[in-house]
Amino acid sequence: MTTPPRAKTVPHVFELHGRKFVDNYFWLQDKSDPEVIAYLEAENAYSKAALNHTEALQETLFQEMRGRIKEDDTSVPQKHGDYFYYSRMEAGKQYRVFCRKQGSLDAPEQVLVDENKLAEGLEYCRVFAFEPSPDHRLLAYSVDTTGARVFNLYVMDMQTGEQLVGPILGTAEVAWMSDNKTLFYSVFDESHRPYQLRRLVIGGDSDTLIYHEVDEAFYVELRRTRSGAYVLMTLGSMTTTEVHYLAADEPMGAFRIAHPRQHKMEYYLEHHGERFLIRTNDEAENFKLMEAPVSDPSKANWRTLIPHRPDVLIESVDAFRKHVVLRERKGGLPQIRIAPPDAISDAHFVTFPEPVYTFRLDTNPEFESDTLRFIYSSLVTPESTIDYGLSDGKWDVKKQQEIPSGYDASQYISERLHATAPDGTQVPISLVYRKGLNRDGSAPTLLYGYGSYGYSMEASFDSKRLSLLDRGFAFAIAHIRGGSELGRAWYEQGRLMYKKNSFTDFIASAEHLIREKYTTSEKLAIMGASAGGLLVTAVTIMRPELFKAVVAQVPFANVISAMIDPNLPLVVIEYEQWGNPADLQAFEYMLSYSPYDNIKAEAYPHMYVTAGLNDLQVLYWDPAKWVAKIRAHKTDDHHVLLVTNMGAGHGGASGRFDYLHEYAKIYAFLIDALGVG
């Protein structure tokens, strides 16, 4: 296919706030229509043909990326009870094998779940929940077989391998009670909202509804505390939480509420001894740490341990027998604060070896542990599994990600820059490139961003990215408002009626890279996924001449089309993120930036747009409609490509090699679009 598909136009008219709208591509929203599937397949065929001249490059990129993976690899075993749990990958296989050893790492291996076998005959497969019972006899695990992030739940006897339960369809999270036979689990409704909590008694044929959340803005989260003493059900919206707790040794007991939901107040519980530790933003934008007795954790009994600090965001709290660990964020960087549980103010901080870095805490299931495990990396340092001594501060590298084809970190430079937004705000930019890059504007550059939901974009290592850096690319992350890099206010300034700050911050970041002669508009590409896809499509509409190429992965581009239909997945929950279009002021503001609704006849950059047919976060038709309308209006001869994974959802392919093939195609597109030799 040498010419792009032309989606037919079937005017669909609707009115809102006295205004008439015509959506010519509304018909693409009917997934059951064979013509829709045929159109998506035609788009896939066109994209393949349009990139046919890069197939050799795609294969080269894939082999480079694969060469950086240790194919026969094992995660660092995590001690849990008398067992060591880990997963491993086998050479040539796409999926994980979940295993354990009893008592010692020298003990025989017991294979528990082989994802490769689960994936046979499936286009997508991913194990989500993986929870051993407290006595480590039973295993509750769940599997996503479509990419829709809806899970089938199973319970197996790990001693015999017998499947005792399952599949239970449409589940979310799980938590065991101390009797080793009672399992709580949450389930999704048709809008992909975890809305019910159920109690299952293994071997007792008892599956009982325990809680049903009727407010469509709230969802159910479930977990067992690290101490093992309580199961917590957190009911949350985008701005409000309400926590219910149940002693884990009372499987037939009733959940009790800590504090009734209070609009725009969040609080979260963690258990330690005779108290709950409470992280809350009650009169504390960046959160503060409180405590209350487990006998009565109502708000009247909350006592301050760490007061609110305007320059430090408390992101999470983890309790161990002899230590309390806080993940905090200060000056745009995450930090780990460690304190004895009876003297929270007597804290020390983990010292990190680089000025710009990130980490993520591992599961750390053992309450009695004196070791904290986290995964450390930076833009130039591969992921390292660290066991950190909570008492002695010892930094023990248990494993660093191997790059079999070779990697020399000293050949790459990482920087932190700042761009000035139109309102004077300083926007951090993380930048990495290979030594020898000339600051003459000639370097092809990929600028990445997200800026939504308070999620911070971390400056982490990505071995795939080396294929760009080694070809002379610079890679930059714009830490724009809408994330939480600089605290909760950074998030608040990039959502609802301030959402456009995310877009102008990103544009300012692009302009800064050009002004500082890292690149030019002819060499600048941008990339974002999901809400980051909204970001890159919005700035493309605002400043199409500023960018040469755009990669929009599962972009949320149809803001109005999606948000006016409360029956679509997650829409009601999202009102507190984007606004409710039933409100005139919110509607007008959302309409002013909604990418799909602001397309006009103009020259646009090259575009590579992805979708997942099974996606429930951003429905496949959102990127499909965006591409159809852009193609009908653009005045240039640039490529606009739509690539739909017909067997996956929001995150793309599940198999590790399939995933690399997806990125090899994206990188080939970028290299070709920017004219990199």
Q: What is the pLDDT of residue 438?
A: 92
The yes-or-no answer on residue 650 being catalytic is yes
**Closest of 388, 368, 366, 367 to residue 376, by C-alpha:** 388
From the candidates 244, 271, 606, 650, which is the catalytic residue? 650
268-311: pLDDT as tens digits: 999 999 999 999 999 999 999 999 999 999 999 999 999 999 99
- The CA-CA-CA angle for residues 658, 661, 665, to 5°, reads 150
| pTM, two decimal places | 0.96
Give the other-Cβ count within 10 Å of 332's Cβ. 19
**Closest of 193, 194, 175 to residue 185, by C-alpha:** 175
- In order, the DSSP letters of 343-362 are -TTS-EEPPPSSSS-EEEE-
Q: What is the pLDDT of residue 206?
A: 87
From the candidates 144, 318, 615, 622, which is the catalytic residue? 615
Q: Rounded distance, CA 447 to CA 430, Å?
A: 10
Residue 19 dihedral angles phi and psi, to the nearest 5°: -110, 140
- In this prediction, the residues of the chain whose per-residue pLDDT falls under 70 are 1
From the candidates 460, 530, 561, 654, which is the catalytic residue? 530
- The 8-class DSSP code of residue 309 comes to B
The yes-or-no answer on residue 594 being catalytic is no
Q: What is the pLDDT of residue 2?
A: 74
Please give the C-alpha separations between residue 544 and each of 155, 239, 374, 461, 536, in angstroms, as whole numbers. 52, 34, 41, 30, 10
Q: Rounded distance, CA 426 to CA 168, Å?
A: 49
Burial letters 396-433, b for 16+ CB under 10 A, else e: eeeeebebeeebeeeebbbeebebebeeebebbbbbbb
Q: What is the pLDDT of residue 1?
A: 55
Residue 297 dihedral angles phi and psi, to the nearest 5°: -85, 25
